[in-house]
Chains A and B, each alone.
Chain A
């Protein structure tokens, strides 16, 4: 069975603050794939990143960075110098070679205020 836990339901920060969204996963598969998606109020799920289980290298893309640690089964997402446009619900998701459906966490709602 696969499970993704996003313990933070809602986070509120002031613009320019750094914020980290936590994601903890469970899987028995040795090969698996982790994803982050952003869902702004408009509704579209926007793909942010995919990470393979055999690649623990951290990733940075502009103000976004991801920290993947297999030892703690975590795939955390940090936004540096947050902006109002970052306000959205962020979903962490998990899939594996034996699967087909993305297993989503419950999502973290991020509100960035001016």
Chain B
């Protein structure tokens, strides 16, 4: 079962709101990723968690705060976002057996975020 789930599917928030995106996988994968995708663009990596530890932060602004409570869950906490942060946020996971570079990443359906 190669399923990654994400909630909510859609989110509208104001610039002063605090919200969280959730991602869950039950494939026993030990690496989890957050990507941001703007319209008509490819996904861009934001964060990588490996064995529940943040291993990669691609210079993402601090208004995005990731959290990995356990090996199956990944959250992205949002605070004081800007309208330009409106995008599709995709979560992915991979096995993390022999290095991230060779692994297949499986993606969730994404959360479409609109910041007003």
Contacts and interface: CB of A to CB of B under 8 A. Distances in A.
Interface of A: 31, 33, 35, 37, 42-47, 50, 52, 91, 95-102, 104-107
A44 B110 contact: yes
A98 B100 CA distance: 8
16 contacts: A33-B101, A43-B90, A44-B110, A45-B90, A45-B107, A46-B107, A47-B2, A47-B104, A47-B105, A95-B101, A99-B101, A100-B48, A100-B101, A102-B43, A104-B42, A104-B43
Interface residues of B, number: 25
Contacts, number: 59
B72 to A, nearest CB: 19
Contact of A99 (B42, B43, B100): B100
A105 B45 CA distance: 13
